[in-house]
Amino acid sequence: MSAENIKDAVKEKYSQAALRAQTGRSACCRTSSAQSCCDPITSNLYSAQESGALPEAAVLASLGCGNPTALAQLNPGEVVLDLGSGGGIDVLLSARRVAPGGKAYGLDMTDEMLALARENQRKAGIENAEFLKGEIENIPLPDNSVDVIISNCVINLSADKDRVFREAFRVLRPGGRFAVSDVVVTADVPAEIRKSVELWIGCIAGALRDAEYRSKLASAGFERIEIEPTRVYDIEDARQFLAAQGIDVDRIAPQVAGKFMSAFIRAGKPAHKRP
């Protein structure tokens, strides 16, 4: 699987998901379009108050694995950037939290997702948000221009995570915060899972080990790195999905049960350059 193949497969998968959401169906990440969205990673992430304050299409388009804006500290006047903003749910929630005076950017590479997010923004009547087209490995914003980076179930999809962390570090202001939800593993992922494109684009095969997440963030320059589990998955959570990819679920169960989790990852850019 080359990085370009992964990117093309991710774009294709999420353009289909955006088109599903535009027709009023759930965009749901890991189930096929024939199934209903009841997957254990994406379901029930937002409070009734949060969902109720947004257009239904924005909620239906949610494909995250956490609720980074609920866990991140966001203050009025700040600039927030959401890496892989999808249908825009976290950008719209953040935009409200940083008003007045602040702004929320969403960044996504998939045209259909950008169109959906902009339509959701219009329906929500939110003005202090902007959706940018681009890749999280090459963020189209200047150095030191963002206070908080959020992201929801996207970094695991990248084939070049070191570059994503370096770019996040570059655009954050000194003292800026990195506060993302992502899928993380606590053991080596079996090779048959790693090599499946379907499982990569379903947010499973590309997940980093917790220790690797920390060391890659530290190599990019981040400090105060914390990984807090928000949901730990059982083998039954993924049985149908793994079996559909031809994986012998019972054989790999001891290697994966309880080892995949959604986590909230926090880190900070040092406030001052080290001498």
**Cα separations (Å) of 16 from 26, 98, 107, 205, 268?**
11, 31, 18, 20, 35
Judged by beta carbon, residue 84 or residue 102, the one nearer ligand SAM is: 84
User: From the CB of 138, what's the least distance to ligand SAM, in Å?
Assistant: 8
Of 184, 191, 185, 183, which is closest to residue 251 (Cα–Cα)? 191
Judged by beta carbon, residue 166 or residue 253, the one nearer ligand SAM is: 166
User: From the CB of 179, what's the least distance to ligand SAM, in Å?
Assistant: 13
E runs forming strands in 30-137: 79-83, 103-108, 129-133
User: From the CB of 261, what's the least distance to ligand SAM, in Å?
Assistant: 16
How far is Cα of residue 190 from the mean position of the Cα atoms in its chain? 23
Judged by beta carbon, residue 66 or residue 176, the one nearer ligand SAM is: 66
Name the residue with the smallest CB distance to ligand SAM.
86
Q: Tokens 């923004």 belong to which residue?
A: 121
Rounded to whole angstroms, the Cα distance separating 165 from 137 reads 8
Judged by beta carbon, residue 63 or residue 79, the one nearer ligand SAM is: 63
Rounded to whole angstroms, the Cα distance separating 15 from 196 reads 20
| Cβ neighbours of residue 168 closer than 8 Å, sequence gap 6 or more | 83, 139, 149, 178, 220
Judged by beta carbon, residue 170 or residue 252, the one nearer ligand SAM is: 170
| Cβ neighbours of residue 124 closer than 8 Å, sequence gap 6 or more | 54, 55, 58, 92
User: From the CB of 131, what's the least distance to ligand SAM, in Å?
Assistant: 11
Judged by beta carbon, residue 63 or residue 247, the one nearer ligand SAM is: 63
| Cβ neighbours of residue 262 closer than 8 Å, sequence gap 6 or more | 41, 65, 66, 153, 181, 182, 183, 184, 229, 230, 231, 233
User: From the CB of 28, what's the least distance to ligand SAM, in Å?
Assistant: 10
User: From the CB of 84, what's the least distance to ligand SAM, in Å?
Assistant: 3
Judged by beta carbon, residue 60 or residue 189, the one nearer ligand SAM is: 60
Q: Residue numbers of the site for ligand SAM (CB under 6 A)?
A: 10, 14, 29, 62-64, 84-87, 89-90, 108-110, 113, 135-137, 152-154, 157-158, 203
User: From the CB of 82, what's the least distance to ligand SAM, in Å?
Assistant: 7
**Cα separations (Å) of 126 from 4, 123, 133, 161, 194?**
34, 8, 19, 31, 40
